[in-house]
Amino acid sequence: MPDRVLIYGATGYTGKLIVRTAKQQGLRPILGGRNAARLKSVAGQCGFEHRTVDLNDAAGLQKALRDVDVVLHIAGPFSQTSRQMVDACLATGTHYLDITGEIDVFEACAARDAEARQAGVMLMPGAGFDVVPSDCLAAHLKRRMPEAAELTLAISGLGTASRGTAKTGVESIRLGTRVRRDGRITSVTKPIYRDIDYGQGVKKSIAIGWGDVSTAFHSTGIPNITVYFEAVPQLEQAAGLGPFMRWLLGTSTAQRMLKARIDKQPEGPSDEQRRTGYSVLIGEAVNAEGERAVSRLRTPEGYSLTAQTALEAVRRVLAGNARAGYQTPSSVFGADFITEFEGCALEDLNA
C-alpha cells in the first residue's frame, strides 16, 4: 500500500533523484505529473502508483489529493506552479511542501498563513537545499544572538545546476538583486561585494536574491538580511546588468531563447559530481553594538541533500509533525534539523 504522500513533478532531474532515494529508503509515494508517458516510465521503474493530472485542472488536482496527507511539490519554476498546488492543498486539507528557492513563492505562501491555519494545513516551501541548511543556520545564529539586527549568509561550493534551477535563475533576471532592509525586501541597483572566508582563505563573494531574504526573516525576525554566493563570472555578469538589459532579458522572446539554450545543457550534475561535491555556508549575526556571532556549516552536494531533507520532512509530516499555517524548515523542525543529516557539520567560529 502506498504512503499517503504525492510527489508531484517526479519526471524532472530532481524529481527522479528524489523518487530513487525514496525507494532506497523504503518509502512508497504516489507519483504525480502531467506527462502520462514519462510519469508511467518513472513510476514503473520503482513500482510506484502514479496519477496523471495537469496543475491547471483544479477539479482533477483536488481529486488526486483527496486521500493524500502531504504533497511534495517538485515541478518548477514554482512561480508558475505553486499557486495551483497550494490552492488544491487548502481545498483538500493536504499539507504542502516544495523545494523552491524563489523569494516571491515564499512570500506568496506566507501571505496565505491565516488561510492555511483555518484549513489546518501546513505550507512549508523550501524543503531542499533551498533553504533547509541556510534557514537552520539563520535560526542557530538567532539562538546565539537573540538581539541580532543584521544577518549575513554566504554560500560556497555550488556546482552544476539542473535545467530547472537554471530556468528559475533566468526568470529572476528582471528582478535584480534583492536584500532585506528594515524588514522590507528591496532591490539594489549596484552589485554588492564582500570578501568571505569559507574555510580555505578569503574569496570574493557577491550578493544574490536567495530565498533566505524571505525565509530567514520569518524564521528569526532579523530585519536586515543579505545573502552572498562565492563570485563566479556568470553571477557577476548577471548582477552587473543595468535596468534596460534586465528588462530586455525579461521579455518573453528573450526568455524563450535563454531557456532553449538551457534545454541543450546536461539535465543536471552527474552521480560522481553529486558524490564528491559539497557546500560551505557561513552565517554572521550582528547586534546594534557591533558584536558578532559567526558560524559555519558544511553540507553534502545540494541536490543529494535536497533528496534527503525533503523526504525527511515528508516522513515527519506523515508522523504528525506538522504545524498549521506558513512555516519555514527551522520554525517547524528546529534549528538543529540540518545537523541530523550525514555529512552536515555545524561549528561556531567565535564561540
DSSP annotation string for 235-288: HHHHHT--HHHHHHHTSHHHHHHHHHHHTTS-SS--HHHHHH-EEEEEEEEE-T
- How large is the average pLDDT for residues 114-136? 97
- Of the pLDDT bands very low, low, confident and very high (cuts 50, 70, 90), residue 220 is very high
Q: Give me 148's grid cell.
A: 541580532
Is the overall model pTM greater than 0.85, yes or no? yes
pLDDT of 76: 84
* pLDDT for position 74: 95
How far apart CA 314 and CA 310 sit, in angstroms, is: 6
Largest CA distance in the chain: 60
What percentage of residues in the chain have a pLDDT greater than 90?
72
From the number of C-beta atoms within 10 Å of its C-beta (0-12, 13-18, 19+), residue 202 rates as exposed
3-state secondary structure of 54: coil
pLDDT value for 233: 60
Q: Which of 83-92, 191-200, 278-287 has the lowest mean pLDDT?
A: 191-200
Question: 35 to each of 10, 11, 53, 254, 308, how far by Cα in Å?
Answer: 10, 8, 8, 26, 25
Distance CA 221, CA 90 (A): 26
Q: Is 316 helix (H, G, I), strand (E, B) or coil?
A: helix
Domains of the chain, with CATH numbers? Answer: 5-128+304-333 (3.40.50.720), 132-302+340-348 (3.30.360.10)
Indicate the pLDDT class of residue 189, thresholds 50, 70 and 90. Answer: confident
| Separation CA 74–CA 128 (nearest Å) | 10
Across 328-334, average pLDDT: 98
